[in-house]
Amino acid sequence: AEAGDDVALGVCLGFHHLASAIGILYLLFFPKGGERYQLWPKTNVSFFSSYVRYVFWLVVFGLKFLLGTYIFSAVSQTTSELEISTIGRQTLPELAQVWYSPTWTADVSMWILFWFTTFYLFLSDTQLWFTIVCAFLGVATMLAQRSCQLCTFVLEDAIAKIPQRFSGKVIGYYGQETARQAGSSPGSGPAVSPFFPPVWDRILEYMRYEDKIDNHSLGDLSFVAADSGHCTRWHDLTLALPRGSVYCGDGPATGRRRFRLPDLFRMKNPFETAMRQACISDPHWPKTADAQWRLIALARGLGLPMPRPFRAPYVPGITVLIPHYGESILMERDELFKPGQKEVPLMHWLKSTYSAEFVAFTTRMQAQPGQEWPVAGNDWEHYTDAQWKKIAPWASMRMQTLWRTVAGMCLYHPALQCHFEVQADRRSALARVWDPSDCFTCLVSMQMYKFFTRTQLEHTNLMFQKFPTCLKVAFIDCEDKGPHADADQVHARQERRYYSCLIDRNSPVDAEGRRTPRLRVELPGFPILGDGKGDNQNHAIPFMRGPFAQCIDANQGGYFEQALLLPCALGEFRSRERR
């Protein structure tokens, strides 16, 4: 009878494990669907993409277990060759005799250390194999996207193809409308959009303002030499694109304007390209490594398949959420240089590392009207406090500061405005009242804003002055429970009431420089539930706008030419088909 019970119990347990395994596999490969579990219909994934996904993980775990089998065998063979005592080979009487033996204890300790280390490495090497297989998959994906034309990828002049590719993939609506009005196919339009020259010149103006290029490179790379390009100011970048180059009417442009094609966009053969890169210095190529990398990244990115961009004013809303606790907002003079210090000043290191950019910065400051700028070089004591207020943002853009992150993310705002000026659907009633702030918000979650020092408050207000239209700050406020806590059903063990508050450029400022919240949302209790960083972002969710959110850390940057690709990136979520 007992044997029958054991068999029945074994059958039940086996059936239980089998059903559990089937349920786990079903939920893993066939997740729940329907309107209850999704905000919008999921993007269909092709059978080939699903096949590649499963093969990818099969290869990752296959390599992991294959190497694990080899390592386990090697460790087992090593322990046998060392002839060390192991657990499980002694009987109970023998174990009682060798329990206090130093030799047996040392052997067992070594055996446990061997297998513990082996098992730990076996569990932790999944990320290693994931990274290795991702590297091969990335190369294979690149070749597949380029139709395995490796020679074309290596030998083509991708930089020279930026005008055609940018015009067709980023600002291509004008060409489609022109072809439609002419009664021809959309593909028969002009290869280069007439709006590309002013857009490209605006990209270069941002590079010049960021001191990534100097005045000479600005003149060589631009279509139209700007009269005031040598003293590019932030106010100039917020102005509309030149009216003479961008037609803002309802129909297509009727006039033509001749532009000078930069040598950068002249088609070059592979031999000439190799000579300019390896043998001789290209006089028309930017000198700074950052500017070179940005141009190459833009050229290579435009060569890949790209979703059709949203057209202004139909761009969906997106919020960039940046958490901040106590990181530096803006560098101070005392952080960069202290008179009489024996160590090498941080400013000296920045100037040496970004020497070409500092020269461009000095040239730009000297060209500012009504402003004196010394030729002091590394003699930092000769710079005045007003000049240090110019140097500090320059240094902050080259350090891990919140200023650098906010400045980069807020470039989405002028990029969307540029799209509106170039290819907006002006027949829409929405276009008459549309503003980039309607679809873009940069939301900084400053958890400790209530306890900021006067310097931190000043730096925050400087960010509001720099980006008045798109920047908002959410912070956590607290106060005593008050006499109405019981009526509001506040928990008896909760000592304070917490609020998520929102401030912006238009919020009133008190005597200490702290802004009064425009909106306050009471939180259901103490806001820090985990490590704090995720909660710091989560409390700002009520103030987010739009269906899309980009959550980033406060150590990243951004570039204007990449911000122009935002409508294309949002086009990935347009419909079921990835077009």
Convert the pLDDT of each residue in 421-432 to its tens digit: 998 898 999 999
255 — pLDDT class (breaks 50, 70, 90): very low
Give the Å distances, CA to CA, from 412 to 174, 315, 544.
21, 12, 16
pLDDT mean across residues, the chain: 83
Long-range pairs for 41-48: beta carbons < 8 A, 24 or more residues apart: 41/576, 42/576, 43/572, 43/573, 43/575, 43/576, 43/577, 43/578, 44/576, 44/577
Q: How far apart are CA 299 and CA 153, in angstroms?
A: 11
Convert the pLDDT of each residue in 180-205 to its tens digit: 454 444 444 447 888 999 999 999 99
pLDDT for residue 568 is more than 50: yes
Q: Closest Cα to residue 64, out of 137, 115, 122?
A: 122
Tokens 């970048």, residue located? 237
Convert the pLDDT of each residue in 156-174 to its tens digit: 888 999 999 999 999 987 6
297 — pLDDT class (breaks 50, 70, 90): very high
pLDDT for residue 247 is more than 50: no
pLDDT for residue 333 is more than 80: yes
Tokens 């065998």, residue located? 73
Where are the chain's structural domains? 46-145, 153-306, 331-400, 408-556
Position 252 scores a pLDDT of 47
Position 3 scores a pLDDT of 65
Burial of 138 (0-12, 13-18, 19+ CB in 10 A): exposed
Q: How far apart are CA 401 and CA 387, in angstroms?
A: 20
pLDDT for residue 303 is more than 50: yes
At a CB cut-off of 8 Å and minimum separation 6, what does 360 contact? 208, 211, 212, 213, 214, 215
Beta strand 318-324 pairing with 548-551: parallel
The phi and psi torsions of 523 (rounded to 5 degrees) equal -90, 155
Convert the pLDDT of each residue in 462-483 to its tens digit: 999 999 999 999 999 988 877 7
Q: How far apart are CA 130 and CA 135, in angstroms?
A: 9
**Average pLDDT of span 109-126:** 85
At a CB cut-off of 8 Å and minimum separation 6, what does 262 contact? 220, 221, 222, 223, 284
